[in-house]
Structure 1
């Protein structure tokens, strides 16, 4: 039987007091409740994931800072060793400062 919208001319059995109408309303109310619960759950999961990612990002940013400091220290150590090395012929013609300079592209340059 095709569904029709509510109309007062459908007769007394199709009004708001009918069993069929009540059943449809009850089913719809349950569906709405399930939908709202599911929506709240999805929102909570999304917020939880956002918080996890924020925490992970903070940890990774700290790691980047630590590694950047370590890299700077190692560069200084290498420069000190290279400038005091007994065998300076290994570094002849190499601009060590330029070689160890920070490179924004992330690739190393070998200037001889």
Structure 2
């Protein structure tokens, strides 16, 4: 392997790896590397914890959406049954029951494709 450019090796009694200056630099560097690795591991762990938390929250929210979708369908069916059985249809003037049924079907279909 060719020697590195830009580094000039000193000659003399202070040039060895046992010099105090070299040892201090190495010790400082070793501490810096340890701190960096600890910080990196901590950040990775925090990210994993956040991913886990968000996945759990997402699962809860998906269940809530399913429950509310079922409840909406039930309430629409109840409303339509009540409207069909009601003798006084004047209360439901302007309400398009067919459109309500179509909205219910299209909402259920688009919700299943996610």
Structure 1 runs (4+) deviating above 4 angstroms are none
> Are 1:58 and 2:69 counterparts?
no
Aligned-pair Cα RMSD in Å: 2.2
Higher RCO (C-alpha 8 Å, min separation 6): 2
Question: Once the 2 structures are TM-superposed, how far is the Cα of residue 17 of structure 1 from its aligned partner?
Answer: 1.4
- 90-99 vs 22-31, which deviates more? 90-99
Question: Once the 2 structures are TM-superposed, how far is the Cα of residue 79 of structure 1 from its aligned partner?
Answer: 0.3
8 Å CA contact 1:8–1:15 kept in 2: the answer is: no
8 Å CA contact 1:16–1:22 kept in 2: the answer is: yes
Instruction: Give the TM-score normalised by structure 2.
Output: 0.78
Runs (5+) with no aligned partner, structure 1:
106-112
Q: Which has a greater percent of helix?
A: 2
What corresponds to 1:108 in structure 2?
none
8 Å CA contact 1:82–1:91 kept in 2: the answer is: yes
**CA-to-aligned-CA distance 1:2-47 (integer Å, 9 cap, x gap):** xxx7533343303311100000000000010011001001100100
| Alignment partners' CA distance in 2, 1:74 and 1:25 | 73
**CA-to-aligned-CA distance 1:21-78 (integer Å, 9 cap, x gap):** 0000000000100110010011001000000000000010001001100000000000
| Alignment partners' CA distance in 2, 1:104 and 1:42 | 44
Instruction: Give the TM-score normalised by structure 1.
Output: 0.79
